[in-house]
Structure 1
């Protein structure tokens, strides 16, 4: 799909498995660093492309689970490319819910940080956080302490700027609903006024959708089955688990280099919010 990074080749070394992907000129995170926020019309263009990428994934029963600006690349002609499928999960036909905690705390849905069973709508929450951040310059819930962040995600209301259009605000409210059962879903997302496409965009999407294996049952809430847990995915108490997780991947915000917890002074992990809860 044109909005998903293409893998061109792969090979193995003695200690690593390497993937060769198509070249993308930059990432959305760097755009945010440089511009701080974007005009609503630019956000709309990005939203339409991300929705197309997610629709393809979800139609094929795949949840990304780590949507964030660092995993959204920008190719030629400003084409958006979703990348980094390290946390992605293909869902079995008899499964609709997962339990393992995967993702980046700033972009995690309430049901994820509360360790409740979840489904594909966690990606839609993350999409809402990203679009909000593009408009405001920061995520809707932000603090330098992980415990406070979890509490804000679960309890606090999102504050919307008065300058935000009614359509954009309506779209974000649909995505950022704390109740996953009431969150904006397919196909309503595609029909929302904020992401209405030009005739050319619509023609391209319909052509692509015709090539996608759609499984409507994945989008239904009537009959849900939890995914069997592996030993690695069993859940520990929520806050303690997220705070003391031995596999936090903490990144230096200046260089992007991954740091281990031993690289940081005590308490510094709470200041590095660009982290993965990969437990």
Structure 2
């Protein structure tokens, strides 16, 4: 997400040892849009990135907290909010599936709902 928004990774170095040092000891700078005509990062987006880039695994966002983060709620808000929230629910279920059979079932259920116009 950070690199897609800014066009560069949160940490960079030509040297692997220096890169490792940066990852372990530095906080990434807030992302700046790669295209200056684009808006700045929202506070929700910055908060999401902070949660994902936490060095301490105990403080890092869990899958559940990631999927419930306020950034996604605002990102999916709009005229087609209902189907977007269904997509988010499908994503949650996909994260919880235990294997290929569960994934196949989830996909079939989603296709069935689409065919019915939901």
Where relative contact order (Cα < 8 A, 6+ residues apart) is larger, the structure is: 1
Q: Distance in 1 between matches of 2:90 and 2:48?
A: 25
- Per the alignment, do residues 169 and 207 of structure 1 end up closer, same or farther by CA in structure 2, a change over 3 Å counting? closer
Query: Would you say 1:137 and 2:7 are equivalent positions?
Result: yes
- The structure in which a higher percent of residues are helix is 2
Query: Would you say 1:177 and 2:54 are equivalent positions?
Result: yes
Normalised by the size of structure 2, how large is the TM-score? 0.61
Q: Distance in 2 between matches of 1:205 and 1:166?
A: 21
Shift of 1:149: 0.5
Normalised by the size of structure 1, how large is the TM-score? 0.28
Structure 2 unaligned regions, length at least 5: 33-39, 99-118
1:54-93 aligned within 5 A? none
1:90-239 aligned within 5 A? 131-161=1-31, 163-196=40-73, 197=76, 198-207=81-90, 209=93, 213=97
Q: Distance in 1 between matches of 2:62 and 2:18?
A: 28
Runs of 4+ in structure 1 displaced over 4 angstroms? none
- The structure in which a higher percent of residues are strand is 1
Structure 1 unaligned regions, length at least 5: 1-130, 215-279
- Per the alignment, do residues 176 and 203 of structure 1 end up closer, same or farther by CA in structure 2, a change over 3 Å counting? same
Shift of 1:181: 0.9
